[in-house]
Structure 1
Amino acid sequence: MAQEQKDFQITIIGGGIAGIVLAISLLRRNIPCIIYEKAHAFSDIGAGLGISPNAQDAMAACDPSVHEAFKNVANGNTWESKKSFLFEFLDGMDGATTDSPLFHIENRTGLQGCHRGAFVNELIKLLPSNLVQFNKQLQTVEENRSGGIRLTFQDGTIEEADAIVGCDGIKSKVREILVGADHPSSKCSYTHKYAYRGMIPMPQAVEVLGEERALNATMWLGKDKHLLSYPVAHGTILNVVAYCSSSDDWPSESQLVLPTTKEDLLRDFEGFRPSVLRILDNTDKLDRWAIFDLGENPIPTFATGRVCIIGDAAHASSPHHGAGAGLYIEDAAVLTSILAHDTIQGGADIEAAFSAFDRSRRERAQWVVQKSRRAGQLFERQTEIDSDFDKIYKELEETLPTIWDYDIEEAIKIASIELDEA
């Protein structure tokens, strides 16, 4: 039997993957919603996206159609013998004593990758066309006399809302409103790491790297830098991400992605083995991405009243564990399940639902943010472990199952208990 439609509407700020998946999940549970997106259209730009096992479990919990949309565009390692591998790890420095992998990490799905834009294009097929309003840059949020929310946008329009969920990413306006503009967690902080991102057509990648390395996910570890590559676009393109640490501040306050040159990239990776430099020399369509997160100043709450945040707005993470997408899809699954609860009828009920979401999600999400920071340091020999690869392997083997083996159905039950105890 279909669930009776709720008599409240959830207003979603932000039309990235988090906002789209949240909307699809709400609609499946017969909860009305609307998305306000500041851009003029859904963005199909972006880089490769790695999806972990827990993310796929959460997709299915949101709506099986979300999982199907991902499977339509995803691919993993090409060799059957490496299908379960996340990455094979190699010493990337010139003068390394072996060309063989130092170790590999595997899980029940292996690395599943896709192009972000391709996934977005699949997801928007699942949304009614009238669900999204574009060119809507949020400016203010105020409580109205009835206890609802009044939203003012940059274009001068005003909208009323029963409740809002901020899915507006790293530069979240909803986060700033929730904690206050002067709060340390209102803005993400620079981790002093950045990434060159680019792609290589697979035939060219095979010629440069050989089949084994080009067709399967690989990570090269180095001092203050590391590089990873994996196939995307159904194995037709090799996605390349080259990370660097820097003591300098990021040069732009407004732009997290800046154009760059191959010369800058090769200069940054001086001292790496020739095979790595050949990869970099063949990488096209380069950009340089700043790595910002909320690790330095974790947000004190994901919800206040009828305002809630999820995804990067709540717990922006560095990408070193490939766990950010999994977290915001988990968020969507848990939040929509709470809102679908029979006791949630609007008003104060929504506040209780948002509070239960915060209590059930914040500890895990912020733990992943810290562990992801730590992983970036491990990969670049910046910890007390330095280049002891056995210890690096052991630490990863201890940490990653906590991310991957998250039981989303159990998490939903726990959140329901949190709601009952509110």
Structure 2
Amino acid sequence: MAAMTQWESFLPPIEQVDYYDEMAETQGESGSSPLEVAIIGGGMTGLALAVGLLKRDVNFTLYERADNFGELGVGIHFTPNAERAMAALDPRVLQSYVDIATHAEGGFLTFVDGFHEGKGADPLTSTEETMFQLHVGDGYKACRRCDFVDQLVKHIPPEKVRYQKWLQSIGAQEGRSILTFRDGSKAQADIVVGCDGIRSKVREAMFGSANSCPKAQYSHQLGFRGLVPMDKALAAVGPSKTSNALGHLGPGGFVLTIPLSGVNAMHVEAFVMDSQPWPEIKSESDTQRYVLPATRDEVVASFKDFGPTVQTYVSLLPEKLDKWAVFDMLDAPAPSFSKARMCLAGDAAHASTPNQGAGAGAGMEDALVLAEVLAAVANLPHLDEGAVIAALGVYSEMRHERCQWLVASSRRVAELFTWKDPQYGHNKDKIRCEIEERSHVLWDYDTDGMVKETIAKFKTELERM
């Protein structure tokens, strides 16, 4: 057997690690490590990473710019690969989702032709032609984002969180990162993880803020979303259409209708492809920059040529609602997810359109890789800057290609959903084949193998030092 390097004896043997079981035995017995991680941003990715680091006894502080954690009360779905990553992070992360999610009848996500349904038909009795169905893992389920965040927060000790900390800049001093916040306060950390969304200040610190720098840009897709009380939906379209998760497809747009039993409502998201630029709004508020006031009449006009079921659903939306711009990083991607002692995760790294239902799930995969490789760093005999930089480089290497594929694939899915490809049109067999292929590239990903490869690459990097 080859002799171990000075580092290797402190890392868990790859073949012996079961990432779905308790891992305390692999992380040492001396309590929390001296490594200090700063998580910037308390969205889903940041919170999931925090829970994963807690499980692995890695020191961290989570900095949130708001005075509390919160997400919009809109629907979220996690695909099978994401659920595996959540379970490996900490079973409580997955359970936080399962406990509040609504299962669609039959477990399918069904896509229908929302355009050619008979004009003037009664949606209570009419039928939209099924184009294809996706059976997602152990069954399609969804919940509200805000409910999932509320569950995750329960697992994080309050003393690990700092609220109203809006990151201003990141500097360096004596081998540590120095965080400066808008309130004038400062903090130090060995590693800074940017989970701070599409306008990431960590990404700006890594790559700059000039027009040529990596950034999220308007994808020329906008969305309207709202909740329709279940009793109104039932009275208007009937039980079969309100007990199933449906995607109503058509030219130029599509509508998702998802039952949410926890709030006794249908979650309705209507997406429109938009050829116009999004107006430049000078505001530090993401809500003011990316969300504009809209009316139900605007949504109705956008889907006036669709079938009666779609028209009925959008007519049930609140009279006043918002339309939000969908931004992604396809056109200006980050060349890497790490630089020096900083790295990016979730939307800060690879903001994606929601069409493949996988953006938040990719953040769960990010969090798992980071939790594992940071635990490996924390378990080393002493904190070494070279090991820190190597670990973050391995994280970027493991995540960058897959996430860039997802961003591009999600754009492509929008083309298929809106019948934009002239070679496909609304040919359901062609659309189904490509959607299934893309879905399985996403769903069948070996998350356990991802973790083992991460640790193996990190060991290799340590051996080179």
The TM-score by the shorter chain falls in which range? over 0.9
Report the alpha carbon displacement of residue 386 of structure 1 after superposing the two structures with TM.
2.1
Q: Is structure 2 residue 303 aligned with structure 1 residue 264?
A: no
Determine the C-alpha separation between the residues in 2 that align with 1:235 and 1:180: 42
Q: CA RMSD in A?
A: 1.7
Report the alpha carbon displacement of residue 204 of structure 1 after superposing the two structures with TM.
1.4
Q: Is structure 2 residue 142 aligned with structure 1 residue 91?
A: no
Structure 2 match to 1:46: 73
Report the alpha carbon displacement of residue 252 of structure 1 after superposing the two structures with TM.
4.3
Q: Is structure 2 residue 317 aligned with structure 1 residue 317?
A: no
Q: 2:80 is aligned with what amino acid?
A: P
Change (3 A) 1:186 1:30: same
Conservation of the 8 A alpha-carbon contact between 2:113 and 2:130: yes
Alignment of 1:327-338 (within 5 A): 327-338=362-373
3-state SS of the aligned residue for 1:121?
A: helix
Report the alpha carbon displacement of residue 46 of structure 1 after superposing the two structures with TM.
3.1
Q: Is structure 2 residue 336 aligned with structure 1 residue 301?
A: yes
Alignment of 1:47-86 (within 5 A): 47-77=74-104, 79=105, 82-83=106-107, 85-86=108-109
Report the alpha carbon displacement of residue 319 of structure 1 after superposing the two structures with TM.
0.2
Q: Is structure 2 residue 408 aligned with structure 1 residue 379?
A: no
Determine the C-alpha separation between the residues in 2 that align with 1:238 and 1:101: 20
3-state SS of the aligned residue for 1:301?
A: coil
Q: Which has the larger radius of gyration?
A: 2
Report the alpha carbon displacement of residue 340 of structure 1 after superposing the two structures with TM.
1.3
Divergent runs of 4+, >4 A = 93-98
Alignment of 1:13-412 (within 5 A): 13-77=40-104, 79=105, 82-83=106-107, 85-93=108-116, 99-144=128-173, 146-182=174-210, 184-234=212-262, 236-253=264-281, 254=283, 255-284=289-318, 286-341=321-376, 342-343=379-380, 345-346=382-383, 347-384=385-422, 385-412=424-451
Determine the C-alpha separation between the residues in 1 that align with 2:382 and 2:88: 22
Q: 2:419 is aligned with what amino acid?
A: R
Q: 2:354 is aligned with what amino acid?
A: P
Report the alpha carbon displacement of residue 298 of structure 1 after superposing the two structures with TM.
1.7
3-state SS of the aligned residue for 1:150?
A: strand
Report the alpha carbon displacement of residue 109 of structure 1 after superposing the two structures with TM.
2.6
3-state SS of the aligned residue for 2:258?
A: strand
Conservation of the 8 A alpha-carbon contact between 1:185 and 1:294: no
TM-score for both structures, normalised by structure 2: 0.86
Determine the C-alpha separation between the residues in 1 that align with 2:261 and 2:253: 26
Report the alpha carbon displacement of residue 67 of structure 1 after superposing the two structures with TM.
1.0
3-state SS of the aligned residue for 1:396?
A: helix
Determine the C-alpha separation between the residues in 1 that align with 2:213 and 2:75: 28
Report the alpha carbon displacement of residue 98 of structure 1 after superposing the two structures with TM.
6.8
Determine the C-alpha separation between the residues in 2 that align with 1:115 and 1:219: 18
TM-score for both structures, normalised by structure 1: 0.95
Structure 1 match to 2:122: none
Determine the C-alpha separation between the residues in 2 that align with 1:265 and 1:210: 22
Structure 2 match to 1:420: 459
Report the alpha carbon displacement of residue 343 of structure 1 after superposing the two structures with TM.
3.9
Conservation of the 8 A alpha-carbon contact between 1:93 and 1:221: no
3-state SS of the aligned residue for 2:292?
A: strand
Determine the C-alpha separation between the residues in 1 that align with 2:151 and 2:217: 32
Report the alpha carbon displacement of residue 286 of structure 1 after superposing the two structures with TM.
2.7
Report the alpha carbon displacement of residue 339 of structure 1 after superposing the two structures with TM.
1.2
3-state SS of the aligned residue for 2:154?
A: helix
Determine the C-alpha separation between the residues in 2 that align with 1:184 and 1:87: 40
3-state SS of the aligned residue for 1:191?
A: strand
3-state SS of the aligned residue for 2:326?
A: strand
Report the alpha carbon displacement of residue 184 of structure 1 after superposing the two structures with TM.
3.3
Change (3 A) 1:54 1:358: same
Query: Gaps (5+ residues) in structure 1?
Result: none
Q: 2:352 is aligned with what amino acid?
A: S
3-state SS of the aligned residue for 1:421?
A: helix
Change (3 A) 1:357 1:75: same
Conservation of the 8 A alpha-carbon contact between 1:8 and 1:345: no
Determine the C-alpha separation between the residues in 2 that align with 1:166 and 1:280: 37
Count of aligned pairs: 417
Percent of aligned pairs with the same residue? 36
Determine the C-alpha separation between the residues in 2 that align with 1:372 and 1:32: 35
Report the alpha carbon displacement of residue 15 of structure 1 after superposing the two structures with TM.
0.7
Deviates more, 1:399-408 or 1:230-239: 230-239
3-state SS of the aligned residue for 1:270?
A: coil
Change (3 A) 1:184 1:76: farther
Change (3 A) 1:185 1:344: farther
Deviates more, 1:160-169 or 1:97-106: 97-106
Determine the C-alpha separation between the residues in 2 that align with 1:225 and 1:324: 20
Q: 2:369 is aligned with what amino acid?
A: V
| C-alpha distance after superposition, 1:322-350 (max 9, x if no partner) | 00111000110111111112448432211
Determine the C-alpha separation between the residues in 2 that align with 1:287 and 1:87: 26
